[in-house]
Amino acid sequence: MIARRAIAPLHHPLNRFAVTGGALRRVLVDLLTDSGRAVPTFVVGDDDQSIYSWRGSDAHIFRIFLDRYKNANLVRLEQNYRCSRAILDAANAVIAQNENRIEKTLFTENADGDAIRLSDYRDAEAEADAVAAEIGHCIAQGESPGQIAILYRKNAFSRLLEHALLRQHIPYRIYGGTAFYSRKEIKDALAYLRLVHDRSDDEAFVRAVAVPPKGMGTKSLDALAAVAKEQSLSLYEAAQQTQPSQKLRDFLTQIASWTQRYRESGLGDLVRTVVQESGLRDYYIAKEKEKGEERAENLEELQTAACIFHHEYRMGETGNRSLAHKPGDPLSEFLTEAVLDADGAAAASDNTPTVQLMSVHKAKGLEFDRVFVVALEAGEFPSAKAAETPDGLEEERRLFYVAMTRARKHLHLSFAHYRLRFGGDSLGGRTEPSRFLDEIPEQLLDSECLQDGRAMSARQRRGRVAHDLSHEVDVW
């Protein structure tokens, strides 16, 4: 009875049909067939923007729907009111490479607009610095920061961009997310590092024993705090004076071991060891699954941050007067920079127009006058895992299509030839440009990455800077 009342009207609009979860879709289809009698239904959606397969959405649902209901009338809404003609033509060319889609070609009556700017950089740091410098120039020319967005495939990529924007004094906000050094897993890892740096940091001790759990609940911590207060000790010192559990004893031994490792091997090796041996990575993956994978990527980025910082510090390239608790100590300096970056990210007022940083998934439905899409490298965009299957690759291409069509007037695409990254025990470095860049027609790109008037292929672009990479940066 409830179902019949729900489908009583003559027409039933189903908006965003392609992003509806599979189970719910089946229920809706069953309701709308009304025991075999088709009920007039109006389905709305865009299979080219189906980017949530990991949530159960299915880009093929429209084709399935059309196959099942042969008399359905397909209406293509192909006029685009957002993008310039150059941006839309490029996006059309990219998405046309997908075989499993309903064929359509968007058009616009907007002006041609600027050519798409494609830039390559020696490394990820240079990319972030250049993007920040360009944004600073645009703002100086009168553009509103609120009409500028930086998009990336993985949230971990925000760190370098945040740091570069802070150095340029450009206000920014992580749309629908948290600044890198304010993310829970990063603060958890920093708590371990703070204890290595200073055993008297009770706040760090409390956070570190909580994640992963070390068998200390509220009562145990209260009892330990009472001992510490009575004997004028830190929580770490008080724990050494008591009879700790095996988990807590192992934790205390770890801190001592990491301290010795830091003295012998330096900052980069310390952070890598803490991330691997603390159990944080496995803890979050087991606890939060999809979100846990993202947290693991952020922990890997923290290792990258420490290695790069240590290298720049040794080379005298940090450029700031020391505010560290222990000036001259790399760990102390690194922890201080993390605090300063977190404070800088939180400084923007809610009423201040800010540059928006976000993952491409978060960007769906939004639009900006100027958009930067960064880290367009093989293994990153498309992601290595997704590119293993035809459906996965097509979804990554849809994601890139969504990224491109967030821009109204100006679209900047960029990649780095070297990106330091960690994954388990492996260290990545040299990169290759994303295959999607080769799918953009040559005439729609500006001259920055052109060779003899022709767009360079991914192979040619790799060769262009190969000699610059013959001596890789020592980050250890």
pLDDT band at 424 (very low <50, low <70, confident <90, very high): very low
Amino acid residing at 18: A
For tokens 């699954």, name the residue: 289
CA–CA separation, 271 vs 250, rounded Å?
A: 18
Looking at 281-290, 310-319, 358-367, 419-428, which range is the least confident one?
A: 419-428
pLDDT > 50? residue 208: yes
Residue 425 has a pLDDT of: 43
Mean pLDDT taken over the chain = 83
Write the CATH number of the domain with boundaries 182-345: 1.10.486.10
pLDDT > 80? residue 99: yes
pLDDT > 60? residue 189: yes
CA–CA separation, 133 vs 165, rounded Å?
A: 8
Please give the backbone phi and psi of residue 204, each rounded to the nearest 5 degrees, phi first.
Answer: -65, -40
pLDDT band at 290 (very low <50, low <70, confident <90, very high): confident
pLDDT > 60? residue 134: yes
pLDDT > 90? residue 251: yes
pLDDT > 50? residue 343: yes
DSSP letters along 398-430, please?
Answer: HHHHHHHTTEEEEEEEEEESEEEEEETTEEEEE
pLDDT band at 473 (very low <50, low <70, confident <90, very high): very low
pLDDT band at 302 (very low <50, low <70, confident <90, very high): very high
Residue 34 has a pLDDT of: 52
pLDDT > 70? residue 49: yes
Looking at 42-46, 265-269, 312-316, 450-454, which range is the least confident one?
A: 450-454
Q: Who's near 49: CB < 8 A, 6+ residues apart?
A: 18, 364, 398, 401, 402
Name the residue ranges covered by the structural domains of the chain. Answer: 15-75, 116-171+348-446, 182-345
Looking at 81-85, 129-133, 471-475, which range is the least confident one?
A: 471-475
> What's the mean pLDDT in 274-295?
90
pLDDT > 90? residue 57: no
pLDDT > 80? residue 16: no
Mean pLDDT highest for which of 98-102, 343-347, 457-461?
98-102
pLDDT > 80? residue 163: yes
Residue 272 has a pLDDT of: 93
Q: List % helix, strand, coil for the chain (3-state, nearest 5).
A: 55, 15, 35
- Neighbouring-strand partners of residue 358: 151
Residue 199 has a pLDDT of: 94
> What's the mean pLDDT in 39-43?
72
> What's the mean pLDDT in 130-143?
97
Looking at residue 77, the DSSP 8-state letter turns out to be: -
> What's the mean pLDDT in 253-259?
95
CB burial string 345-361: b at 16+ within 10 A, e below: beebeeeebbbbbbbbb
Write the CATH number of the domain with boundaries 116-171+348-446: 3.40.50.300
pLDDT > 50? residue 258: yes
pLDDT > 60? residue 21: no
Contact assessment for residue 342 and residue 182, using Cβ atoms and an 8 Å cutoff: yes
Residue 317 has a pLDDT of: 57
pLDDT band at 23 (very low <50, low <70, confident <90, very high): low
The model's pTM:
0.84
Residue 436 has a pLDDT of: 96
